[in-house]
Each structure stands twice: as structure tokens, then as C-alpha cells.
Amino acid sequence: MIPWKLLDQVPVPGDGGELTLFVRDQEYSIRVAQIELMNSRVYAREDALSKLGCERIRGRKKARVLIGGLGMGFALATALDHVDADAEVVVAELVPGVFKWNREIFGHLAGHPLRDRRVTAREMDVARVIREGRVGFDAVLLDIDNGPDGLTRRSNGWLYSDAGIASCRAALRPSGVLGIWSAGPDRAFVRRLQRNNLSVDEVEVGSRSKHRGARHTLWLATPPR
């Protein structure tokens, strides 16, 4: 088997640590502390989060979507496939090196979504974008860290707290949707969403297409109508 080759490593702002990018043949892997966060051949979860979230706002004029975490660009690409030409998709990514990798190394795998004129790229913590609350979003889609069980940054835990959930809800336009990916189910977190007056649909998806591979959890939360 062809061995993995280290291509680059970049620091994670704030809590320290670093992200590393490996390649093997045409397969790419982003890792932290030797734990794989994402792989270019395994991205069904990203597709599902964007597809299910954006389907709920289909047809809205000048829709605004916020994606937390750029990753390898697959969630962004899928969101662009499911919104209209007048939409804006804001992607917030804390680690500048991830933008660089998408632009210079593996962006072709997702069709170079950062080049789409509908995209606004923000090199900052998605929590900061949510806190700004200047203009509401029709969908807020979070594919960061490990879900409610943080892995790369302790500060990510705020997003999944009562205060973070309340801020996410406040960032939504009427009838908006909050979509969240997690490595697995979390009943306490579901109760936290419900405690913040959100209706929650839980969907189990596979890491690979056709529902194969490791099982992941998606939550789609909406305010009452």
C-alpha cells in the first residue's frame, strides 16, 4: 500500500495544536494529533448536512446560509447546488491554512466552490459570526470539531451550550433551520436544543455514500412556527 505523505501543517489559533494534511495517491486526509478529521473519499456526512439543511429553505429569495467549517469544501459545494443564483453562502473557517489548502491543493475535488461568486469567505471562528448577528441567516450549518464532544478546541463547546444555541437561534431568520453534525448521538444535547424551544429532527447518516461506513448523527432544529 502507498504510504501517507505529509504535505503541510498549520497551527490552530487559540487553543494551540496543529492541523496536518496528508496525501496518498489522490486521497487527502486532514488530521489533528494523528486523529483523522476528514478524508477526501469519505464526505457523505457533509453532503447530507448541506442537502437536508438547504432543502428546508428551497425557493427562498436571496437566501443566506452560514456554514461553520470549510473542511475540504464538500459541504460548501453541496450547499451551492441547493440554493438559487441570488443566494449568499458564508463559510467561516478559523484556520487560514484550510482556505489555502482548498485554493491551492485539493479544491478541484469539490469543484473549487470558493470560486463561486455567491460565496463569502470569512477567516474567523463561526461563533464570532453568529455573535455578530447583523443580518439573519435562513440556515446555519455547523460541521465543526467533533460535534458536542469537542476534539480540536475546547472553546468550541460554547456553540453547543445553552448560550450558544440561543445565539444560533437568534441568528436565524423566521422559519430558519439550524443544522448540526455530530460523530454520534447525544440525548443530553437534544434536550438542550428542545429546552431552547427548538423542534428537532435527528437523522443518522453513513460516512460513505449509500449510508455505508461509520454512523454519524445530524440534527435539524427549527423554531416553532
Query: Tell me: the pLDDT tens digits for 37-65?
Result: 999 999 988 999 999 999 999 999 999 99
Q: CA–CA separation, 171 vs 154, rounded Å?
A: 22
Question: Residue 15 carries which DSSP code?
Answer: T
Per-residue pLDDT at 210: 54
Please choose, from the candidates 173, 183, 83, the residue with its C-alpha nearest in 3D space to the C-alpha of residue 134: 173
pLDDT at 147 over 60: yes
110 touches 72 (CB < 8 A): yes
pLDDT of residue 225: 76
Question: pLDDT digits over 151-208, tens only?
Answer: 444 556 888 999 999 999 999 999 999 999 998 899 999 999 999 999 999 999 876 5
Class of domain 42-222: alpha beta
pLDDT at position 133: 67
Q: Please say if the pLDDT value at position 29 is more than 60.
A: yes
The residue written with cell numbers 441547493 in the block is: 82
Residue 145 grid cell = 470539531
162 is written with which cell numbers?
A: 445553552
Residue with cell 444560533: 168
Highest-confidence segment of 5-19, 139-153, 190-204, 210-224: 190-204
Higher-pLDDT residue of 214 and 127 is 127
State the pTM of this model.
Answer: 0.92
Helix residue ranges per DSSP H, 40-88: 44-55, 74-81
